């Protein structure tokens, strides 16, 4: 009984762990770009983020969960059940998706060169 409860809690908490992992990688990447390579923390965070992003088997599941979460939030934002009465939540979610896709396309172009 206790093992089943623990398994259920882990099953429910796992997507949040994936989101926290992807968020932390994103924060490392943002810190690296804001601080630059000349700053010690920027240099370290850039190298650490690049090392982890280099292994897709580590990041794939977290990125998938992040996209599923984005899809659920976007679906909720465009539905009549939207808790926010403005259109800005849709605009922000669409902008986040466009930024992520633009980043991905830019990375693909860089690797082709």
Domain boundaries, the chain: 2-112
- DSSP-derived secondary structure letter, 72: H
Under 8 Å between Cβ of 92 and 42? no
What pLDDT does 108 receive? 63
Tokens of 98: 């466009």
Q: CA-CA distance, 6 to 103, in Å (whole number)?
A: 38
Query: Structure pTM?
Result: 0.63
What pLDDT does 110 receive? 62
SS3 83: coil
Q: CA-CA distance, 89 to 82, in Å (whole number)?
A: 9
pLDDT tens column, 9-57: 888 888 888 888 888 888 998 899 999 989 999 999 999 988 988 888 8
What pLDDT does 88 receive? 81
**44 vs 94: which has the higher pLDDT:** 44
SS3 16: helix
Residue 113 — pLDDT band, cuts 50, 70, 90? low
Q: What percent of the chain has pLDDT over 70?
A: 94
Nearest to 86 by CA among 94, 95, 77: 77
Q: CA-CA distance, 31 to 61, in Å (whole number)?
A: 23
């Amino acid at each position: 009984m206790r093992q089943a409860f623990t398994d259920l809690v882990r099953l429910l908490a796992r997507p949040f762990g994936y989101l926290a992992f992807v968020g932390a990688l994103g924060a490392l990447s943002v810190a690296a770009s804001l601080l630059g390579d000349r700053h010690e923390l920027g240099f370290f965070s850039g190298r650490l983020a690049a090392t982890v992003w280099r292994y897709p088997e580590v990041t794939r599941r977290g990125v998938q969960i992040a996209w599923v979460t984005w899809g659920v939030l976007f679906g909720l934002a465009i539905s009549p059940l939207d808790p926010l009465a403005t259109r800005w939540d849709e605009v922000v979610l669409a902008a986040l998706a466009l930024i992520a896709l633009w980043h991905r396309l830019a990375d693909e172009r860089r690797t082709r060169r």
